[in-house]
A and B are shown apart, each in its own frame.
Chain A
């Protein structure tokens, strides 16, 4: 792996994609690493496409990276993942929640309304072209069991860090506590460990 790890977070506004990118940034700094994030938010407070670029390493300069340069994609929603697959680098890993939030354009019949299973299949066939690994996690379900479905972002983070091991658990705990004080933070920390302990294998 190169010195800088490029992570792309694909989510729908309101799902916690920005919190996830911030937790990684805080944890990276707590671990003494360099970090840059860049967010592309839409104009809406909710339900827009949100892309966060996170770069962790020894020395990082640019807040973004280009197509074919993500070592990992963390997805909170499958349509947003499929929209950003061109960022996958050779041999990259994709960790995504099996969550589907069809946009209004799909519901109105202006655009396709993809089925979850088809979408996962298509994501796999694209990822295969770059020898990528795809991990699908029932993140919302697992988070809901902990009492807060919104903690699904930390389940995905746990699954990612289990494979990539770029952040220490203590730094992640510290970052979550800093960002989400109180009960929300406690649930998020639990969610991170649930994600990390999942014995997941790539589905493709």
Chain B
């Protein structure tokens, strides 16, 4: 790639199309961030992935960590020594990291520490529609929210400056439509990396075992928060556009929808738009001034009516006579993401314009396309092996709950596998299976958990289950990569994305070391062996672990190409549909001739469909891609 097109190395003043997360990565480089870490999670993953793709040769540490709390602790450790650090995670990851985050507010930092928390209104790929702006209040850490990729980049730099000035970690909070939007971004100057400066022993600051120290630091923290607005004044993260007595307060991508909506209504100069980039603490001085000439205020924000409540509180305590409306009055929805249309509707109601309904045609009733496991996915075999093993052991499927966890394998919930019964949060499968079993559930319980999720949060739960002697079968689905978020490294790799040599951890050694009663490693493509092992382990007391190990088929195809594919001989297909009903492989379909066909360019050659074809109608074809 030419240097001016490399988002991390392009000279200052280059205008490039960048995704929000790429812009944040660029911001990290411009701000001299030396330690960049995190745990993969949509929509935050591309920040580190961008550095992995384009940052070779740069002087920095940019690596995934085992989970978000360890990532945060690494970043914190770097920042207390004066280095600049950035740590990235999706919203549920902030929950995982919350313990060290809250304590870090009391100790503070010397080098800049920026915590990226990416929320996912919609939700598009997340278990909840968590609004992490509450996290700023909870942790008492300053928070900035950008509206677009340019701001996302610029705010990384602002956040570092603020962080170092106040000696506090600063949260950069985004939503999917900022992280995953591509827009033109103009680059700035790159400063050299800010590495370790010094770290001196200072127990009142860094030891939370002293309660008097904690009270003292709490008071210090409140004092620092009172300076945020003043410190940010020079950065213009908050601004007023237009004028008038009818005002809109907006933040994040909501601001972009407001501008678009006002342009559509040809009212951009007639309405005052108050844009906030500083979310916590509320920039009260700025707002009091900006709201002074307003009579009516509409608050546009994604997810909870957070700002709306804060602004009502501010108006009350400042004696401002304002009519403030937003989600609490039902002008905008609390569920799902915003868009131009709902914002235009809210603006029309707010401005008493006629609610003329824009007409559009209806779509066709298309067959649903729930996300499936990929063709050749080893998880398909693992769940099939598990289901057949349950049946072989003499149980009915509905007698054996299969606890699921977070990762691609959760897609086994869909037909035809209909496999997992639960999927809650990282690592929850083992603890929940244990809880059901010890509560008096008589049958066997099964926990299924991916390799990276096992390292992330499964280890303590498995230790607990083994220690308490609770009978269960644990399947660790080891596809040797964090697949769902785009193929990131795990602790079993011998070298990271940046080329850093590492010590690969062995799941079987860990599990045996913990004291699991029986441990087997099975290749899920050897489905008969998997079925036999499941049957045996379900009947044996103790915590029995099967490591179902085979590389992610998609990742392997990208790395090594595809050696064989499968096709259907139409004359031999008797339309029994066994292949489709058993595997649910999305590369299979029924053609207009009512026979099964294979989308050959999508087949990765596992041959599972051929195995279950009673008529030998599915045959291998060579491929050299």
Interfacial residues, chain A to chain B (CB-CB below 8 A): 12-14, 21-22, 25-26, 28-29, 34-49, 60-69, 79-80, 82-89, 101-108, 110-116, 119, 122-123, 126, 129-130, 149-150, 178, 181
Contact = CB atoms under 8 A, between A and B. Distances in A.
B177 A64 contact: yes
Given A36-B183, A47-B374, A149-B601, A103 B360 contact: no
Interface of B: 1-2, 5, 15-17, 42, 124-125, 148, 177, 180-184, 253, 256-257, 259-260, 263, 339-341, 344, 358-375, 408, 410-411, 414-416, 483-484, 486, 554, 577, 580-581, 584-586, 588-590, 592, 599, 601-602
B127 to A, nearest CB: 11
Contact of A22 (B182, B360, B373): B182
Contacts of B366: 79-80, 82-83, 114
Nearest to A77: B369
Contacts of A48: 369-372
B587 to A, nearest CB: 8
User: Which 6 residue pairs spanning A and B have beta carbons closest together?
Assistant: A68-B360, A44-B371, A111-B367, A66-B341, A82-B364, A103-B369
Contacts of A149: 601
A13 B602 CA distance: 11
B368 to A, nearest CB: 5
Contacts of B484: 43, 45
B602 A62 contact: no
Contact of A106 (B184, B365, B589): B589
A93 to B, nearest CB: 15
A28 B17 CA distance: 9
Main SS at interface, chain B:
loop
Contact of B368 (A63, A66, A105, A129): A105
B367 A62 contact: no
Given A41-B124, A61-B259, A108-B580, A29 B17 contact: yes
A131 B15 CA distance: 38
Contacts of A86: 360-363
Contacts of B410: 43
A29 B186 CA distance: 11
A45 B408 contact: yes
A115 B16 CA distance: 43
A34 B184 contact: yes
A47 B372 contact: yes
B602 A46 contact: yes
Contacts of B177: 38, 63-64
A130 B364 contact: no
A177 to B, nearest CB: 9
16 contacts: A36-B182, A46-B374, A48-B369, A63-B177, A66-B340, A67-B360, A79-B367, A79-B369, A86-B363, A101-B599, A105-B368, A107-B577, A113-B589, A126-B364, A129-B361, A178-B1
A68 to B, nearest CB: 3
B124 A66 contact: no
B183 A35 contact: yes
B586 A47 contact: yes
Nearest to A86: B363
Given A45-B408, A79-B366, A107-B589, A36 B359 contact: no
A46 B364 contact: no
Contacts of A29: 15-17, 184
A112 B368 CA distance: 9
B361 A21 contact: no
Nearest to B407: A43
Contacts of A102: 367, 589-590
B590 A62 contact: no
A22 B17 CA distance: 9
A126 B369 contact: no
A173 B292 CA distance: 52
A110 B183 contact: no
Contacts of A111: 367-368
Nearest to B185: A29
Nearest to B371: A44
B415 A37 contact: no
A113 B584 CA distance: 15
B129 to A, nearest CB: 15
Contacts of A130: 360-361
Nearest to A178: B5
**B256, B260, B585, B601 pick with most chain A CB within 10 angstroms:** B260
A13 B42 CA distance: 16
B371 A103 contact: no
A44 B411 contact: yes
Contacts of A45: 374, 408, 483-484, 486, 554
Contact of B554 (A25, A46, A101): A46
A149 B600 CA distance: 11
A25 B181 CA distance: 10
A43 B364 CA distance: 23
A122 B360 CA distance: 16
Contacts of B414: 104
A162 B532 CA distance: 60
Nearest to A3: B263
A108 B124 contact: no
Contacts of B581: 108
Contact of B257 (A28, A44, A62): A62
A21 B373 CA distance: 24
B411 A61 contact: no
A143 to B, nearest CB: 11
Contact of B586 (A36, A37, A103): A103
Contacts of B372: 44, 46-48, 103-104
A12 B476 CA distance: 30
A123 B361 CA distance: 11
Contact of A108 (B16, B341, B359, B415): B415
A36 B182 CA distance: 5
Given A29-B16, A102-B589, A41 B183 contact: no
Contact of A105 (B183, B361, B370): B370
Contact of A64 (B184, B340, B592): B340
A35 B408 contact: no
A129 to B, nearest CB: 5
A85 B15 CA distance: 34
A61 B1 contact: no
B579 to A, nearest CB: 10
A149 to B, nearest CB: 6
Contacts of B364: 82-83, 85, 119, 122-123, 126
B339 A66 contact: yes
B97 to A, nearest CB: 23
